[in-house]
Structure 1
Amino acid sequence: MFTGIVEEMGTVRRLTKTPGRCELELTASKVLEGTKIGDSIAVSGVCLTVISMDADGFTADVMPETLRRSNLGTLKPGSMVNLERAMAADGRFGGHIVAGHIDGTGKIQSMQPEGNAMLVTIGATSELLRYVVEKGSIAIDGISLTVAKVTHSNFTVSLIPHTGEETTLLKHRPGEIVNLETDIIGKYVEKLMKPTTDLPETNKITMEFLAENGF
């Protein structure tokens, strides 16, 4: 589990692809503190398991499903990524609940200054946008951000200067692809309201059930 508060930016050393497997090697410093083999680190929002480490970096496996869902397959040596260690039980919860499981990708459409902030508009499919709500949370390349506006084809977030400086988002250009993870709570609510047809009738949540229980 992560919070979407990026701890540092790392750099891709090597991306090795073989049939059915991809290995990603990254330079890092802060996220190595207290980390051991088997721990999880979010790489631009993708939860990856550390399989080896050295003094200034770590290596992780990337599954085919992850390559299909995210932009990790487009990385190359020198690419910068956002890094965050898994949330500590005794730490502050500064962002929102981020699982590190990418729902899909979006395409940056525009970047527009607004005062000291930067408005970033990202195009996405209707399947993703159904879970994006104004003033709700979304993780973009692992960055916890608040949605400022949503339309039928895109959404807009606003970055303060600190977030712009400490993450990779403003290093992108219009047309580039970013990883998106929508709010997991919305997906669970939808699942409960529209359960699969093979569930027993008594396990289904209905409008009558909600009314009887004060909702």
Structure 2
Amino acid sequence: MKIIDLPIEFAYNGQKNIIYPSLIILNNELTLVDTGYTNFITLIENEILKHGYEMKQLKHIIITHYDDDHIGSLYDFKNKYPWINIIASETESKYISGEMKAERLVQAEDMLGKLPNEAIEFGNRFIQQLKNLKHVPVDTKVNDGDMILENQCRVIATPGHTSGHISLYFPSLQSVITGDAAVNENQELVIANPHYCLNIKKAEQSLRKIKNLKADAYYCYHGGTLTL
């Protein structure tokens, strides 16, 4: 088993950005963790192919949480590769499937009236992006402590950024895929976008929780891998 970063470069608001979805390889099967923004499927496919794998090997997609940069292309993946098993936390699955209105959309709508005039256009655009996301049923719903991927991966509940956020711990590799529970900033694990956290106190607790695992490698969606 191994984990690799899939660096995806793109422009956002006129600036160059990179996100790092993770690819887990286990017994010749692939698991993708998070799917980038809408229309990122080709970018991610190209990165997977570049590593010498084939898309028919993709068996699972794990979603760490409901944010448009993490689930944007989930519908496209499921539509193109219908055999894929989608895994998410019990809480986040309600937003991904459309069973409940997403927390992030509720937050964005609540904040809109408090934004300065120069930010209102961006706020409206962000809300529309969230509303345009297509819902997808979740095949496997997980909770804190569940073992998945042939018992090689432990689900770690890391709420704060969103209430049902999960990270993934791989004991045999001494590695953690953090989602947005932590970002790699100047070779240090810190909270991702504290002003967007739905519960900053829980986000701080979750950051301590994954740091306390004392892993050798932390695969961060923002900032890439931190090796200790």
The two structures have a TM-score, normalised by structure 2, of 0.25
* Higher relative strand content: 1
* Higher relative helix content: 2
Radius of gyration: which is bigger? 1
Relative contact order (alpha carbons < 8 A, sep ≥ 6): 1 or 2 greater?
A: 1
The two structures have a TM-score, normalised by structure 1, of 0.26
